[in-house]
Amino acid sequence: MPAVTPGLVCAHHHLYSALARGMPAPPRTPTDFAEILELVWWRLDSALDLEMIRWSAMLGALEALESGTTAIVDHHESPNAIEGSLDAIATACAEVGIRVVPAYGVTDRHGHDAARRGLAENERFIRAGGRGLVGIHASFTCTDETLREAAELAADLGVGVHVHVCEGTIDADAPRRLAGLSRDDWLLAHCVNLPTDHPLRGTILHNPLSNLNNAVGYANPARFANPVALGTDGIGGNVLESFRLAYAMERSVDVTCGPDTAWAWLERGWEVVPEAREDEVTWSYDPMDPWHVAFTPGIRPLRVTVGGQTVLEDGKPTRVDAAEIRAKAREQAVRLHARL
Cα 262 to Cα 250: distance, rounded to the nearest angstrom: 8
User: Which three-class secondary structure string do you get for 69-115?
Assistant: EEEEEEEECCCCCCCCHHHHHHHHHHHHCCEEEEEEEECCCCCHHHH
- Smallest separation (angstroms) from Zn ion to the CB of 165: 10
Residues 196-225 that bind Zn ion (CB under 5 A): none
Q: Which is nearer to Zn ion, 39 or 257 (CB)?
A: 39
| Nearest alpha-carbon partner for 72 in 127, 134, 8 | 8
Q: Which is nearer to Zn ion, 115 or 189 (CB)?
A: 189
- Smallest separation (angstroms) from Zn ion to the CB of 183: 20
149 in contact with Zn ion (CB under 5 A): no
Whether the upstream peptide bond of residue 27 has omega within 30° of 0, thus cis, is no
Residues 257-286 that bind Zn ion (CB under 5 A): none
Stretch that binds Zn ion, among 39-47, 76-84, 184-192, 263-271 (CB under 5 A): 184-192
- The rounded Cα 67 to chain-centroid distance in angstroms is 15
Residues 298-327 that bind Zn ion (CB under 5 A): none
Q: Which is nearer to Zn ion, 236 or 317 (CB)?
A: 236
Q: Which is nearer to Zn ion, 134 or 189 (CB)?
A: 189
Cα 315 to Cα 312: distance, rounded to the nearest angstrom: 6
Q: How many residues bind Zn ion (CB under 5 A)?
A: 2
- DSSP symbol at 171: G
- Smallest separation (angstroms) from Zn ion to the CB of 137: 9
- Smallest separation (angstroms) from Zn ion to the CB of 17: 9
- Smallest separation (angstroms) from Zn ion to the CB of 7: 21
Q: Which is nearer to Zn ion, 175 or 231 (CB)?
A: 231
Cα 38 to Cα 216: distance, rounded to the nearest angstrom: 15
Q: Which is nearer to Zn ion, 146 or 232 (CB)?
A: 232
Stretch that binds Zn ion, among 108-116, 139-147, 151-159, 188-196 (CB under 5 A): 188-196
Q: Which is nearer to Zn ion, 214 or 332 (CB)?
A: 214
- Smallest separation (angstroms) from Zn ion to the CB of 164: 5
Q: Which is nearer to Zn ion, 146 or 207 (CB)?
A: 207
- Smallest separation (angstroms) from Zn ion to the CB of 72: 12
Cα 331 to Cα 17: distance, rounded to the nearest angstrom: 15
Residues 228-247 that bind Zn ion (CB under 5 A): 233
- Smallest separation (angstroms) from Zn ion to the CB of 160: 16
Q: Which is nearer to Zn ion, 233 or 279 (CB)?
A: 233
How far is the CA of 279 from the CAs of 258, 283, 304, in angstroms? 27, 13, 7
Cα 340 to Cα 319: distance, rounded to the nearest angstrom: 33
Given a contact cutoff of 8 angstroms between Cβ atoms, the answer to whether 89 and 56 are in contact is no
- Smallest separation (angstroms) from Zn ion to the CB of 75: 5
Kindly give the interhelix angle for 50-65 and 85-96, rounded to the nearest 10 degrees.
Answer: 30
Residue of closest CB approach to Zn ion: 233
Residue 289 phi, psi (nearest 5): -120, 165
How far is the CA of 212 from the CAs of 11, 169, 207, 217, in angstroms? 18, 15, 9, 7
Given a contact cutoff of 8 angstroms between Cβ atoms, the answer to whether 67 and 238 are in contact is yes
The answer for 220, left when phi > 0, alpha when psi is -120 to 50, beta otherwise, is left
Length of the chain: 340
Contact residues for Zn ion (CB under 5 A)? Answer: 189, 233
